[in-house]
Every structure is written in C-alpha cells, then in structure tokens.
Structure 1
Amino acid sequence: MQLSLRNMIPSIWERASLQNFLLLSAIILILTHYLKRRRRNLNYPPGPPGLPILGNFLQMDFQKPQVTMQKFVKKYGNILYMNMISQNFITVTGLPLIKEVLANQGDVFIDRPQIPIQLQIFKSSGLIMSNGQLWKHQRRFALMTLRNFGLGKKTLEDRIRMEAKYLIEAIREEKGQPFDPHYVINNAVSNIICSVTFGNRFEYHDSQFRELLKTVDEVMKLLVRWECQLFNIFPSVMKFLPGTHQKLFRNFKKLESFVEDVIKQHKENLNPEEPQDFIDAYLKELSKDNIHYSFNEKNLVYCTLDLFFAGTETTSTTLRWGLLYMALYPEIQGKIQAEIDRVIGQSQQPTMADKENMPYTNAAVHEVQRMGDIVPFNVPRMAVVDTTVAGYYVPKGTMLTTNLTALHRDPKEWATPETFNPEHFLKNGQFKKRESFLPFSIGKRACLGEQLARAELFLFFTSLLQKFTFQPPPNTQLSLDVQYSTTMSPLPYKICAIPREM
C-alpha cells in the first residue's frame, strides 16, 4: 500500500534523522562562520587565516606558545589577530604598542578575560582574575594590608634577611654535593608571603608544606595541558569527562582546603584589636557593617591563594634561573662576588641600602629576569569597550596579550639579546634603568607584589652568592632548556653550592 506524502516525510526523517541533523548542523555552523567573517569589520588587525569554528586553534602549540607566536608576528606584524573557537584575541609587540594598550588605554584593557578553566577554579574572585568593583575593592584592601604588615618597610626586609639565613644553612647542609634547589628555594620565598598572609613560616623539612608546594607546582603545569585547553572550548562536556583537568580541580581543592583550615584556626584565635596578618585583617573587615559585597569568607580563600601563588612561584622561578646562569657563566659570578666582597664583605648581611652601591649585582638580577622570560605574554587582559589599536578595530570582549618575549629579546633594544649579559643594564659602570624591561607589567593591573619581589630577588640572590659559588656537578652539562607551564621555568637540575673560603 502506498504511503501518503503526509506519512512519507516522517518516515524518511526517522530513518535519516541523525545524519540529517549532523549535516544540517555542520552547514549552519559553517554558514554562520562565513557570514560572521563577511560582517567582520574590514579593518581588523592582520593574522593567519583560520578554519571554520576552530579558528586558529590547531595552529597553536600550547606547549611552546611563544615559538608559534613569534613566527606569526614575523609574518603579520606587531599587532596580530587570531581566533580560538569563539574567542578573538590580539597580541601586540613592541614597546610603543605595549605602552598604548597597558598605559594609554589602561582603562579600556583593564579586565581579565573570563576563561572557562579559570572560572571553574577561581569563580571570577580573588585578586588576579577578578574584574570591576570586586577587583578594585579587593586590590585596594590587599595593598593597604600588605603595607600595614611591612611592604616597603624595614620590617619586611628584616624577614627576608632572616629567611636568607635559614636558606643558607639549608644549602650548607648539602656539603657541596649536587642537589636540586627547587623546593628549598620555593620554601624560602614562600615563607615571606606566608609570614604576611598566615602569620608564620614553615620549616624546610615540614613534609606537609613540602607536599603543598609540590601541589602548587603541579597545578601550574597542569593548566597548560591539552585537556585544560579543550576544557576552555567545551566546558559543559569536559567537566564530565576524565583527564588531567580533573586532576587539576582535585589539586586546587587541596589548596583551598589548606587555606580554609588556616582561616578556621585564625577565627578561633582572632584578636580584632591586634590583627597579626592578612587573614586576621580580612576577618576583622568581615565583622564591620556596610562592607562591600565582595568581602566574604570564600573570597578570603581566593585572595589568600592568589597572594600565595603570586608570592611564591614567580620569584622562586627567577631565583632558580639565577643560580643556573651563575653556574653557566662563572666569570660573571666572579664579578658579582668581587663586588659583594668589596661593598659588604663576609661579616655583614646584605641590605636593600647596599643595592645603590652594587650596580653590577643589580644589573645581573635584572638580566636574570630578562633572560628567564618567565611570563612571556604577560597576564591576559580584555577590552571592555570597542576601541582601535594602531588604527585597527578591536571589538569589546577581545582578549589582549602583550609580547614580552619579543620586547626582552629585541635586537634594537639589547646589544646581545640572546646572551646573558649584565652590561645591558649598565652605563659607564652605573646601573641603568631600561624602558623596554617590563617583567612586572605596567598600568593599573601591574604586579601587586612588585616591590616585594624586587627586594626578595636582590636580598636572596646577593646572600647566596656571598656565601657560595655555584657550579655544575662534575661531568654534567647544565641546560637552559625551558619547562613549559603557567610560568617558564628551567628544567629540573642539580647544582653544587661550594662554600666560599675567605
């Protein structure tokens, strides 16, 4: 019996519905992408052509992003447009453009992009990834509180100098034998921010704290894994699937639990009249009437974690690069030690006041930061309104990265851009500031802890070279190869710290 037309259409659809649906969906997506490109302002910045839907996603090497990006910059110029699935972003290269977006248009590019993997972890809270009034209130409170507890004052300098003594004793215990300096340096640097946020330091042999530092290190590495990048594309699907992104979430929960336990202890012992650290000060703020909505106990956890991460990872990584460069450039190490012996000697500890009389040591610290290149594209920003950069149209919501790798290796700015050379920061034997040196960024969202980091780098670095000469282990070739994570760190290495005989 023949089917009527009315019955035939559902019958055909039932037999081929899935295939038709997938084909129709693909056609709609491709057509939407095509029409979107047609509607695009013709004055967008130049960039590599992308695929429908995926954009330039498959062209990026997420393990070595700066290598890929430098190729594109060389081909397309100092302002580069790319698309990753649904996210547009631009990368600017060169000091004039970096100053334009971070300083001149600082209020336009003041927000952080809402990246799914970071939203899953930080919920748009804390100090680093928050935006708007929430960010302004939390940053203002954090700066005020850090200053109250010694930021920029001699009290905090004294804490760093005391910690340097503990670090020297810990390294002396190695008796000149090869050792991995990673976690002992991590512990020393972390103890400074811990003393401000938690009110106490942690012993280097504290297994629980050592495990916590390893968890932090693992979180930084996991964030750049491909599963986490895939989570940024398909968050609603990936959150139900197994993979290293789930390990990332579990590790971050461990860190949250640690901070929550510390906060609980602080609440039990709190004296509102005499807050001892950042957590005490925040809890005191929570007890006030009419405080801003952003002040709550959950945000205290995120702000504390931000301070802990930022106050540990970048400075610790820079110091590890510093010891590696000293072992690879013994003649430079010798010049630094000669200056230390002349200005400070062996009987006194270095102080920040000594820095003015130690231009070569100061220059070497800056050169470690330049060559270490630990945050190659800065922390990303996002345009809050439509704007133009270098005459090109940049729509609201576009993510911005600034190419610090190219800036710090620009042959027009640096005499030997690929070589470790403290002379880059010297002129006629005196320290010379360089405008093209921006490891802490610039503008309203520049690094909150820049002043602390500068003090830690000078005091720890100088104290270590005052007491030890760093050498490669016998029959070992040290490498400057990079371990890619959220920051660019040296590959794990062992080094010998030979006590200096005076």
Structure 2
Amino acid sequence: MVNFVSIASAAVLLIITIFYFWRKNQKNYRLPPGPTQNVIFGNLMELIYSTLIKGESPFIKLAQWAFQTGPICYLRFFRQRVVVISDARVAQRLCVNQADKFSERPPGLLLSRVLKDKGIVFNDGPSWKEHRTFLTHEFRKYGFGKQSMEQRIQYVVDEYLHQITKTNGLVHDPHPNIATAVYNIIWTVISGDQFKWGDPFLQKVIKNLETNLQAVELTGPHNYVTILTVFHLLWHNFLHLWKITLMRLVYFKQLIGKFKKYQKQSTNSEEEESMMLDYLVKMQDAKNCGEPTYFSETQLLWLVSDLFIAGGETTITTIRWILLCLALYPEVQERVQQEVTEVFGRDSTPAYCQRTHTPYTEAFINEVLRMGGVTPGMWRNTSQDATYENYDIPKNTWVLLHFYAMNNNQDQWEDARKFKPERFLNDEGMFCKNENLLAFSIGRRECPGQGLAQTELYLFTVGILQKFKVALPNDEKNIDVNNGQFGITYTPPHHRLQFIAV
C-alpha cells in the first residue's frame, strides 16, 4: 500500500513538473474565450465525466461549451490546445481565407496515428496533396453531370426500387438494402464494374465495413490524450480491431486483383474508363519515367478503403435520414411527392440536371442534411500560428469544425430543432442555398465526392417517391428525430419502415 501511494505521489509530482515547465515556455497568446479550466487538466476531466459518467456524447458537451462561449471557443485537454468552431462564417474565414494553416489533421487523434500517410481522409503532406489532386481530377473527368455516370447510378437505384417492391409493403429495416445499393455505386464509380444484387462477396465487404464503423469509436475522450488511447485499445481488444482492419484490406486487395484481371480480358472501351484504371496507369507511367510519386498499390488499397468508408457511410446515413423524415412528416412527404409527380410522372427517369424544377425537393434534402448533420464534426490542426479577429490560434492547435453545433445554432437558424424545408426557399418559392450549411465540410478538406453524393441523394429521393409512400409502423411513430446516435456519422434512431406502392 505504501509503495502504491509513493508511486502515485511521484506520478502526480511528475505531471505537475511537466505542466509547469510547459506553461513556462509558452508564448503569451491572446486566446479565444472558453469555459473555466482546471489548472493542470484544463477541460479534460469535465469532458471525461460528461462522457463516461453521464453517458453524453463528447459532441454534445463540446456544443454546450461553444454555445455558452460564442462562435469560437478555446479549450485545453491537459497540454493540448483545442478550438471549437460553431459558426459557419468563422469556419469560412479560417479554412478558406487561411487555408494553408487549416488543412492538416491533428496528429494525436487515434485514427491519425493509425492511418498516418495512408489513403486520403487522415493523410497529410505531399502524399495527401498528390492523391487529393488525383481525386479532384477524376471526379471532374467522370463528373456527375455526365450522362454515362448518372446512368450507372440510376441503374443501381432501379435495382434498389425493385428490392423494395419485393417487400410487398411489409415492415422491415431499410438499412441493409440502402447499404447494398450505395456500396455498389461506390464500386461502380471506382471501377466501372458493379456487383449483382445480393453478391455474397459484397455482403461480406458490407458486414466488415459496418463492424469497422462500430469498433472505431471516433468521438470518445480517448482521442485527446495518449494514455487514454492506449487504455481504449486495450479495453476494446486491439488485436480484434486490427484483425477487422486486416480483413477489410484483404477484401479490397481481392477487388483490385479482380479488376486488374478483368481489365486485361476486357475489350469494351467504355468499361475500361475508370478511376482505378487511371490510378494504375498514372502509377506505371511514373515508374517507367523514374519520376518520384506517392502512388503505389498499397496507397491504392487504402484509397479504395477510404472511398468506401467516407463516401459510403455518409451517403447511407443521409438516405436513412431522408426516409425517416419522409415517414415522420407525412405533410412534407405529400408535398415533395406531388412536386416529383408533376415534374417526372410515375415512370419517366429523373435526371439530376432537372433539380431546378423541383425546388421543394431540393429544400427537403438540404433540411435533412442540416437536421441529420450526418458528419457531426471534423478535426483540423493548425500548421502555423493563425489569427481570428483579436484572437490568436497557436500552431498545433486542434480545431474542431463542429457541424452539429453549426446546424443547431439558434443565431443562424430560427427554430433550429424543428424540421422546416421552407427555410431553404425564397419568397418566390425557389430553392435558395444557405451558406450556414456546410454539409460537405469546407476549405481544402472539403469532400471531393460532393457531386456524387448530391446526385445519389436526389435520384434516390425522387425514385422512391415516384413509386412509393414511406410510412412508419404504428408502434414506432413516436420516434424523436432529435435523438440520433453520435459516432463516425450522426445516425438516426433505430427504426423500421414500410413502402406502400402508389
């Protein structure tokens, strides 16, 4: 017992000493306002208490601090400086006007440690820039105003509608069918090929991806302090988590191998055009010319993985929110359905370029993006000292773009927790984009697949309402739309639906 007390006392003394010398060497910055801080731990202990004892999501506590303080809120988690942004206009001024300083990921976050120099989402530096440029070019090349790509998406949407027809109006969980459709679209975009509905390999990939998303708890306080990260990994069985990740990479390696084999045998020029083929050609050209490049088969593996996770999960979650909101607000559904029927009828194929003819449908989708908030927040790291008005944001500060807080900011959104698509319509009833909605992030880290996501959401919404009325079973009609689940995405409460043919 005496030894334990001695060790504990020495540990506390060491922490205090480290903290003292760290504070002594700090510059006198004009830091933004924030809640009261503990001398040693800053705001970390309050966050841990809120999360582990009260059971709240860290995003809720971070939003409370932001609303109490203002659009830019300063926190400290032991030695780590943190700034929370809860106003889209502030995010614009920092991430666009000072883009060079706000484009990195925090190196201390759990996934930043695991995925350093891999893929695109948590990558940084020259490798990220090269892959970001590649993706931006590819999304433009196979842009989503182009008929061929939209036709591929529409083909999958039609398959999805066929699967709904098979339910015969019975109550069911819509999630599996949505996931199958969206991940098939992702594969179509990457490879030009697609899976047959119910393909057992695709189902294995989907199951693995969803297990990954459940296992990696991005939003816990373990992200902010190394010792808590270690504890988290031990608590959740690090070997099990790593096994899940390795299996995901095995699956994607098999997909890439299948694609390369298919390309050698294919004579169809249209099928040969794809994002993956362009990557392989670019990689080989650099190798032949002896040029330095960050392109490699390993990076391609992680890039495909990122596209599936980042591009797939966010779209799946948004479509789940769309369907739930249609069912929860029948008067809204009736108005959207009436507009869709007037413009497209019941049988004609909709086109994304015709969205200007359906302003209320566009307003509805944007209100879902605001209310659901899909990605509750995204982290940046300051690579240099930065300023905002009279405040300093020191180098290596973690900056949380708190999209959930932005979307619930009463100063920007009247009746923020009420579902009101009309807020996106002007006096003439036309759709009006609102700059306070940052559904696809902002700055250099803005989602490169934004066009793909918007096309998918529109074609799914219109396609479903051409054929079906969406309803909740009688025993689930009291679902609280404000009671979503925070994680990698902000997912809707568990629900089942029925699709009634019209």
Instruction: Note whether the superposition's TM-score is higher than 0.5.
Output: yes
Asked whether the equivalents of residues 29 and 394 of structure 2 are also in contact (C-alpha less than 8 Å), the reply is no
Matches within 5 A, 1:40-59: 40=26, 41-51=28-38, 54-59=41-46
Could you tell which deviates more after superposition, 48-57 or 352-361? 48-57
Matched residue of 1:83: which SS?
strand
Is 1:130 paired with 2:117? no
Aligned to 1:298: 298
Report the count of equivalent residues: 485
Q: Report the Cα offset of residue 140 of structure 1.
A: 1.0
**Whole-Å separation in 2 of the counterparts to 1:21 and 1:391:** 44
Could you tell which deviates more after superposition, 137-146 or 29-38? 29-38
**Whole-Å separation in 1 of the counterparts to 2:229 and 2:414:** 49
Deviations 1:119-161 (A, max 9, x none): 4532332111111211111111122233334444111111111
Aligned to 1:188: 181
> Residue 277 of structure 2 is aligned with which of 280, 283, 292?
280
**Whole-Å separation in 1 of the counterparts to 2:219 and 2:122:** 21
**Whole-Å separation in 1 of the counterparts to 2:239 and 2:223:** 12
Aligned to 1:411: 410
Is 1:234 paired with 2:227? yes
Could you tell which deviates more after superposition, 464-473 or 84-93? 84-93
Larger Rg: 1
Aligned to 1:157: 150
**Whole-Å separation in 2 of the counterparts to 1:22 and 1:332:** 60
Q: 1:342 to 1:236 in 2, by over 3 A?
A: closer
Q: 1:75 to 1:245 in 2, by over 3 A?
A: farther
**Whole-Å separation in 2 of the counterparts to 1:442 and 1:230:** 23
Q: 1:45 to 1:247 in 2, by over 3 A?
A: farther
Q: Report the Cα offset of residue 19 of structure 1.
A: 6.1
Q: Report the Cα offset of residue 374 of structure 1.
A: 1.4
Aligned to 1:386: 385
Q: Report the Cα offset of residue 270 of structure 1.
A: 4.1
Matched residue of 1:380: which SS?
strand
Aligned to 1:3: none
> Residue 85 of structure 2 is aligned with which of 92, 107, 110?
92
Is 1:36 paired with 2:41? no
Deviations 1:228-264 (A, max 9, x none): 8269523895598352554332222111111111222
Matches within 5 A, 1:92-491: 92-224=85-217, 229=222, 233-234=226-227, 237-238=230-231, 241=234, 243-271=236-264, 275-288=272-285, 289-377=289-377, 379-427=378-426, 428-479=428-479, 480=481, 481-491=483-493
Asked whether the equivalents of residues 97 and 390 of structure 1 are also in contact (C-alpha less than 8 Å), the reply is no
Deviations 1:11-33 (A, max 9, x none): xxxx9888656533421321331
Asked whether the equivalents of residues 117 and 232 of structure 1 are also in contact (C-alpha less than 8 Å), the reply is no
Asked whether the equivalents of residues 326 and 332 of structure 1 are also in contact (C-alpha less than 8 Å), the reply is yes
Could you tell which deviates more after superposition, 44-53 or 306-315? 44-53
Asked whether the equivalents of residues 225 and 244 of structure 1 are also in contact (C-alpha less than 8 Å), the reply is no
Q: Report the Cα offset of residue 334 of structure 1.
A: 0.4
Could you tell which deviates more after superposition, 391-400 or 118-127? 118-127
Asked whether the equivalents of residues 220 and 487 of structure 1 are also in contact (C-alpha less than 8 Å), the reply is no
| AA in 2 matched with 1:403 | H
Matched residue of 1:99: which SS?
helix
| AA in 1 matched with 2:441 | S
Q: 1:198 to 1:84 in 2, by over 3 A?
A: farther
Q: 1:86 to 1:249 in 2, by over 3 A?
A: farther
Matched residue of 1:470: which SS?
strand
**Whole-Å separation in 2 of the counterparts to 1:204 and 1:420:** 34
Deviations 1:353-400 (A, max 9, x none): 3211111111111111011111122x2111011122232222111111
When normalised by structure 1's length, the TM-score is 0.89
Matched residue of 2:59: which SS?
helix
Matched residue of 1:334: which SS?
helix
**Whole-Å separation in 2 of the counterparts to 1:457 and 1:280:** 26
When normalised by structure 2's length, the TM-score is 0.89
Identity percentage over the alignment?
28
Q: 1:37 to 1:326 in 2, by over 3 A?
A: same
Q: CA RMSD in A?
A: 2.6
**Whole-Å separation in 2 of the counterparts to 1:382 and 1:472:** 43
